[in-house]
Amino acid sequence: MTVDPQLPHAAAASADSASYEQHVCCNLCGNDDYSVVFKADEAQVSRIVMCNHCGLMYANPRRQRPDVDSIRTWDPAWNIVKKDRFRLSKQQLQIRDFRNTRRHLGSLFPQRGRLIEVGSGIGALLNSFKEDGWQVEAVEPWVEGCRYAESHYGIKAHAMTLDEVGLADASVDVILMIHVIEHLPDPAATITEAYRVLRPGGVLVVETPRYDSLMFKLLGCRERSITCNGHIYFYTNKSLQQLGQKAGFQVQRAMCVGRSLSLDRLAWNVGVISKSAFIQRLIGSVAAKLQFRKLWVHLNVRDMQRVYFQKPHRPG
């Protein structure tokens, strides 16, 4: 769900920030008492604060509409195959990164069951679960992504958010939310909705950047994930697990994970960290000449977390 600034729909979102500002309270504990971590335009377009009660970091006030809103306005004629190479590459490489997750969920659900991915993009990762025997559905407000999932993978797709789908109580076995929760305007409400629709024993898998990492301590406002304007919540291991537990979940498993990415994506990230337009252009030029997009690497600097939340078989 991450919006890359090279893409035209990202430029539209940036222009919208000039006229948008929304003050919010802490999504985890509800308090409106915070300290400023980064001023507006220091790390990203919005100011980033930390709740003085629970420690959650979040954008406040928001100076850009949440991605879940702006994504609905993306051009449905956007040719993802020809022009959005980063998104295609990223989602194809995710399949490799989630082999362990497929095995773990397969051990928990040997008969498989109904699996929904929230923020499924084009459906590449979801299709790998389909091939593993799951009954899969996509929930993705990006219309073109849903069309791609349906036409290329035969996946049933809902072009909306989880709370808009209207799923029945206790009707789903597994929900995936991969790099989604940091974009949502009300993560607590979405996690609560996931709890409602999961069957007892069902599992919610959440992956998101973490901000109790060495990379964040070293890079601060230059850290790649915090500079993304679409990211409006920033979780530590503790705050993410508290969010799930507040909704009623138990932590079944938690880990720090790496990810696979193409070398041109890695080069682009280095350019973002530099905060230098010249370096970004230079790196982009070198990456194009050396065809970095054809190569990939797996990195694990422990700046990503993947948590398996399980709905109790019996209410606590």
The domain containing residue 196 runs over which residues? 8-310
Total number of domains constituting the chain: 1
Which CA distances in Å does 4 have to 96, 227, 242?
Answer: 22, 11, 30
Is the separation of the CB atoms in 181 and 208 below 8 Å?
Answer: yes
pLDDT band at 70 (very low <50, low <70, confident <90, very high): confident
pLDDT digits (tens, 9 = 90+) for 265-306: 767 667 777 777 776 777 667 666 666 666 667 777 889 999
* Interatomic CA distance for residues 93 and 298, integer angstroms: 9
Crossing angle for the helix pair 85-97 and 263-274, to the nearest 10 degrees: 110
Higher pLDDT, 136 or 145: 136
Q: Assess if residue 1 is contained within a domain.
A: no
* Interatomic CA distance for residues 208 and 179, integer angstroms: 5
Which CA distances in Å does 275 have to 44, 129, 221?
Answer: 11, 38, 10
* Interatomic CA distance for residues 54 and 182, integer angstroms: 17
Q: Assess if residue 2 is contained within a domain.
A: no
**Residue 109 is part of a domain; what is its CATH number?**
3.40.50.150
**In the prediction, which pLDDT does 81 show?**
52
Q: Which two tokens stand for residue 33?
A: 């008492």
pLDDT digits (tens, 9 = 90+) for 228-267: 999 999 999 999 999 999 999 999 999 999 887 666 676 7
Q: Assess if residue 94 is contained within a domain.
A: yes
Q: Assess if residue 294 is contained within a domain.
A: yes
pLDDT digits (tens, 9 = 90+) for 182-192: 999 999 999 99
Which CA distances in Å does 303 have to 34, 43, 113, 315?
Answer: 24, 17, 31, 33
Q: Assess if residue 92 is contained within a domain.
A: yes
H or E segment to which residue 123 belongs: none
Q: Assess if residue 52 is contained within a domain.
A: yes
Q: Assess if residue 127 is contained within a domain.
A: yes
Q: Assess if residue 316 is contained within a domain.
A: no
